[in-house]
C-alpha cells in the first residue's frame, strides 16, 4: 500500500516534469520566431548587460546544443547555446539576460546564490552516493551482520538519507535563485531598451516555462526523499523493537 501511494504521487509529477520540458521547448520555439525591435542577439544582449553593470572579467561564448545556456562562475564564462547566441528573437534575449542575472547575483553576493554554490559539492556527492548507501545499508541490515549486533547497516542508511537530503536542499535553494535571475532579466531588458513593454510578456512566458522545470524537479526529489526516509525509519523502528 505504501508503494502504491508512492506511485500515485510520483507518476503525476513525472508527467508534470515531461509537460514542463515540452512547454519550455514549445514556448521558446514560439517566441524564437518573434524578432525583437532592438535587433539585438543573445550575444549582443549578454555583452551589453555585462558592460552596463561594470562586469569586465566574464567572457560570452557559444556552445553546442539547444537551451544548454549556463553561467560558469569558476571559469568566468557565460555560455550561450546555438539557439540563443546568434538569434535576435524575444526568446533568445530573455534567456541570455537570465544568465546575466546569475552573474549579477554573484557580483552582489545574493545569499541564496551563495548558498547554492556552497551546496554544489555536497549535492553532487549526494546524488551519486545516497541511493547506493541506502540500498547497501538495507542489505547489511537484513544480513547476518545485523544478527550479530552490527549497526553498520543502520549508519549506512542514515548517511544515505543525509546525503539525499543535501541534494534535495540544493534543488530547493535553486528555485528562488532561478526565479530571482528571471526577475533581474526582465528588469534589465526593459531598462536597457533591449525589449519594449509590449515584447516583455513574451519574455516572461519563456522564463516562466523554464522555471516550471525546476518546480517539477524539486517536487520529484522531495517525494523520493520522503519515500527513502519512510523506508529507513521503518527498518530502524523494527530493529529498535527487536
Give the integer Cα–Cα distance in Å for 199 and 195: 6
In this structure, the strands spanning 59-63 and 70-72 are unpaired
Where residue 54 falls (left for φ over 0; alpha for ψ -120 to 50; beta otherwise) is left
Show Cβ contacts of residue 113 under 8 Å, excluding neighbours closer than 6 positions. 102, 105, 106, 177, 180
Which residues lie below 8 Å from residue 61, measured CB to CB, with a gap of 6+? 77, 78, 79, 80
Average pLDDT over residues 1-19: 87
Q: Determine the average pLDDT of the residues in 160-185.
A: 94
Bridge partners for 112 per DSSP: none
Reading the block at residue 172, the C-alpha cell is 530547493
**Are 166 and 122 spatial neighbours (Cβ–Cβ below 8 Å)?**
yes
Please determine, for residue 1, whether its predicted confidence score (pLDDT) is greater than 90: no
Helix 2-32 and helix 200-241: axis angle, to 10°? 160
Q: What percent of the chain has pLDDT over 70?
A: 93
Q: Which residue has the cell 510520483?
A: 10
Q: What is the sign, positive or negative, of the torsion defined by CA atoms of 64, 208, 196, 28?
A: positive
pLDDT of 3? 75
Helix (H) or strand (E) holding 231: helix 200-241
pLDDT at 122 over 60: yes
Residue 72: how many other CB atoms lie within 10 Å: 14
Per-chain mean pLDDT for the chain: 90
Q: What sign results for the dihedral spanned by CA atoms 68, 40, 94, 28?
A: negative
Rounded Cα distance, 174 and 45, in Å:
24
Are the C-beta atoms of 235 and 141 separated by less than 8 Å?
yes
Does residue 82 carry a catalytic annotation? Answer: no
Domain boundaries of the chain, sorted by first residue: 2-241
Give the bridge partners for 59, in sequence order.
Answer: 77
Cell of 192: 536597457
Q: Which of 82, 99, 191, 192 is catalytic?
A: 99
pLDDT, residue 156, reads 84
Amino acid at each position: 500500500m505504501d508503494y502504491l501511494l508512492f506511485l500515485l504521487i510520483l507518476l503525476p509529477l513525472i508527467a508534470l516534469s515531461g509537460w514542463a520540458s515540452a512547454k519550455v521547448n514549445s514556448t521558446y520555439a514560439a517566441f524564437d520566431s518573434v524578432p525583437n525591435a532592438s535587433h539585438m542577439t543573445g550575444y549582443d544582449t549578454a555583452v551589453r548587460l555585462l558592460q552596463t553593470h561594470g562586469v569586465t572579467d566574464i567572457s560570452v561564448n557559444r556552445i553546442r546544443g539547444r537551451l544548454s545556456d549556463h553561467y560558469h562562475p569558476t571559469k568566468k564564462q557565460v555560455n550561450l547555446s546555438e539557439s540563443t547566441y546568434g538569434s535576435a528573437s524575444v526568446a533568445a534575449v530573455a534567456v541570455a539576460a537570465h544568465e546575466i542575472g546569475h552573474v549579477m547575483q554573484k557580483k552582489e553576493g545574493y545569499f541564496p546564490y551563495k548558498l547554492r554554490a556552497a551546496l554544489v559539492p555536497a549535492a553532487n556527492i549526494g546524488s551519486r552516493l545516497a541511493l547506493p548507501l541506502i540500498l547497501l545499508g538495507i542489505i547489511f541490515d537484513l544480513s547476518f551482520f545485523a544478527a550479530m549486533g552490527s549497526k553498520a547497516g543502520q549508519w549506512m542508511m542514515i548517511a544515505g538519507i543525509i546525503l539525499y537530503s543535501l541534494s534535495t536542499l540544493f534543488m530547493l535553494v535553486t528555485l528562488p535563485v532561478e526565479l530571482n535571475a528571471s526577475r533581474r532579466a526582465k528588469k534589465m531588458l526593459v531598462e536597457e531598451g533591449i525589449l519594449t513593454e509590449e515584447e516583455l510578456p513574451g519574455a516572461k512566458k519563456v522564463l516562466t516555462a523554464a522555471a516550471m522545470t525546476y518546480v517539477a524537479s524539486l517536487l520529484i526529489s522531495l517525494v523520493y526523499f520522503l519515500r527513502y526516509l519512510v523506508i529507513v525509519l521503518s527498518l530502524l523502528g523494527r530493529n529498535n523493537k527487536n
